[in-house]
Amino acid sequence: MEGLPAAGQQLWGQAGWRYRADCKFTWLCVALMSAVLLFLIALLLGIVIHPCGGTLRGPEGSFSSPNYPGPYPPNALCTWYIEVGPSLAIQLKMETFSVEGTASCLFDRVELYEERGAGGTDPAPARGGPARFCGNVAPPTFNTNSNHLRVTFVSDSSVGAPGFRARYRAVAPGEKSCAWDEHFCDQGLCLHLGFVCDGFHDCTDKSDEANCSLKPKVPVGHVIDLHFHNFSLESHEDCSFDFVEVHDSAGTGAASLMGRFCGHQLPPTLTSSRHVMTILFVADEGVADDGFFATYQARNATEKTCSPTEFSCGNGECQALESVCDGWHDCPDGTDELNCTGVSYPAFGSVCEPVEVEMCLGLGYNATSFPNIWLAIPDQEGAAEVLQDYQTLMELACYQHLRLLICSLFVPKCTPDGGVLQPCRAVCLAAELRCQQSLSLLGILWPINCNILPDSNDPVECFQP
């Protein structure tokens, strides 16, 4: 089945075709076909549940990413619900942390949600939204204001990493604390020291920007160009021994990391987004090398050095015009995605085409666009081949709700801008609500985590067919 992952082809070939001759639209056939199709959707979405996660109770405990300390598997989705005694708070610390990702953590990530209510219900995201982390720098200590915390780990289908190990403990609200190399503010918020005196108020009480007597080397209104002329450090795959880190701030921290370098390849020229930059050099007790030599130069941030066919980022970096308003942050400061109205996410330049898949005719939309960027299906013929036995599902009482979800995943709506939209979370939840009970009676669990889908009333972010 061209365009589908090998595991998906094997699953469909074994479960869909091997037993096809025995299916006479009986309730058993319906159950089998439903299970196969739902499981295939979960497999293609990369959200097949790995043996990880669970509910953690008690005054303290620990957990880690799947296969830790070995590399975590692809397509993992793990959720831990942490619950401590009433009137207590939770303090979470990452003892080790190495998760693949960019500054926006689009690929692999750890997310923290502070919640109210038992069993992870009635979510109340901490501090206005989920805290998201990735990279090789451990997140700061995390203190909750309630006795419930949800920790979610997500990995994509590509590169893995060693993962993480975390430890939590119950603390009284008045006993919240931070590590010695972190800044404590707002009765429990911990910041890496790199966010202290960086010109931004990350703390509500503004204590992170108080008593900042250090004057910048470079005048305000300028940016810094850093050039490496010689570079020779001990080589290591993850640069865990000797390395140079460059941070776009007055200190160090995961959010400000521009790059970590080791080995003998000359790092690229790096440009700060503001008038401050930090270079951190670390050497272990083992092999030594020649080291490095670098120079920096201040440059007026308003100077335009890009060509007419390029977009100038806020930090002076040049990007192709095609990267502007394409749904991805190509500029380190995100200026290429500012003031973008009416742009679908992600937009990729394909044109709309009429829906031809039989199962999906007559919905609230009649145009789609391929390749399917979420399920890696190259064209409508590939989607139709997967859904060719959909008539079996019509025996289910919840078929109409299931049809909306399946079609919006396999044959998504095309927008006027040429992109396609994911279904809104409400579409998935409606299908789960209608189908979960009947499937559970047959011993079939609902395989999709609807919470990974966007939850928004904005038609630019998701679609309700």
Rounded CA-CA distance 102/45 in Å is 21
222: phi > 0 → left, psi -120 to 50 → alpha, else beta; which? Answer: beta
Q: Give the chain's residues under pLDDT 50.
A: 1-25, 43-50, 118-128, 215, 341-348
Rounded CA-CA distance 73/162 in Å is 10
Domains annotated on the chain, with CATH: 6-45+347-463 (1.10.2000.10), 54-177 (2.60.120.290)
DSSP 139-172: PPPEE-SSSEEEEEEE--SS----EEEEEEEEE-
Rounded CA-CA distance 201/193 in Å is 13
> How many whole angstroms from its chain centre is CA 289?
37
pLDDT single digits (tens) 28-52: 555 556 655 665 555 444 433 345 8
Contact 265, 146 (CB under 8 A): no
Q: Look up residue 29 and give its two tokens.
A: 């056939």
Tokens 């972010």, residue located: 461
Q: Look up residue 420 and give its two tokens.
A: 């396609």
Q: Which of 51, 48, 49, 63 is nearest to 8 (CA)?
A: 48
DSSP 392-438: GGGGSTTHHHHHHHHHHHHSPEEPTTS-EEEEPHHHHHHHHHHHHHH
Cα-Cα end-to-end distance for the chain: 27
360: phi > 0 → left, psi -120 to 50 → alpha, else beta; which? Answer: alpha
pLDDT value for 298: 82
pLDDT value for 10: 32
Contact 350, 370 (CB under 8 A): yes
Any long-range contacts for 396-400 (C-beta under 8 Å, 24+ apart)? Answer: 396/30, 396/34, 396/435, 396/438, 397/434, 397/438, 398/431, 398/434, 398/435, 398/438
DSSP 236: -
pLDDT value for 418: 57
The pTM assigned to this predicted structure is 0.40
Q: Which of 10, 25, 13, 37 is nearest to 448 (CA)?
A: 37
pLDDT value for 121: 38
Q: Look up residue 298 and give its two tokens.
A: 């201040």
